[in-house]
Amino acid sequence: MPKLFLLLLLCSLASHCAKGQTDTDQQYQQAVTLMEQERYSEALKLLTPLVKQTPDEFTYRQSRATCYYQLKHFADAAVEFRILTQLVPENTEFVFQTGNSYEQLDSLRLAVQYYSTAIQQQPDNFLYHFKRGTVYLKQSRWSPAINDMNEVIALNKNYDNAYHNRAIALYKAGEEMRACNDWCRAALLGNKLSVTHLERNCKRYPFNCDK
């Protein structure tokens, strides 16, 4: 799970807790504090009864989903994030995190489905395209992987991982020269894996990073 999403989540949860201090709020604040300390198993013990008591309160369920994900309980995380997409359908991040959880489970068809929905809702988010393109790589679907990495580069031309992943797809698709050019660009942007690929696969090609 992206650290920025987790940080924003914890900030919003702290703000939510500060608005009231009923017994439920105090229990939730304790759970948030435990999450801030990365004590996710203990936080879950406090969050689960809150979710059962108020199943439509999305902040409780969001916190529990985050705990499940951080504990690598990805099946439980996927269920929680999927419910959150129904409770708060306008929140694209929940759609994305559902896809992310399914990807961790190697449920790649479902991961693509949710990443595609996230892209439909926020087409300018380069990370959503990158994650779907990465799944296409895992599925050996070279053409759609290349298309997604093209979108990533159009949105963020300095994202080295997009050049690296596009190079893998190009190389597998038989376009070795273009692949080496992309690995060269990625290497110049600091991608160490691309340096390894250049040394292993591109010595016989006159690649040009500027093309």
Q: What's at 53, amino acid-wise?
A: Q
Residue 9: per-residue pLDDT: 58
The packing angle between helices 58-70 and 3-18, to 10°, is 140
* Per-residue pLDDT, 10: 54
**Contacts of range 41-44, beta carbons closer than 8 Å, 24 or more positions apart:** 41/67, 41/71, 43/67, 44/68, 44/71
What pLDDT shows up at residue 210? Answer: 59
What predicted TM-score, i.e. pTM, was given to this entire model?
0.85
For helices 126-138 and 108-121, the axis angle rounded to 10 degrees is 160
Q: What per-residue confidence (pLDDT) applies to 13?
A: 53
Low-confidence ranges of the chain (pLDDT < 70): 1-21, 207-211
Q: How far apart are CA 211 and CA 197, in angstroms?
A: 18
**Structure confidence at residue 22 (pLDDT):** 81
Residue 205 pLDDT: 74
Q: Look up residue 51 and give its two tokens.
A: 């979710």
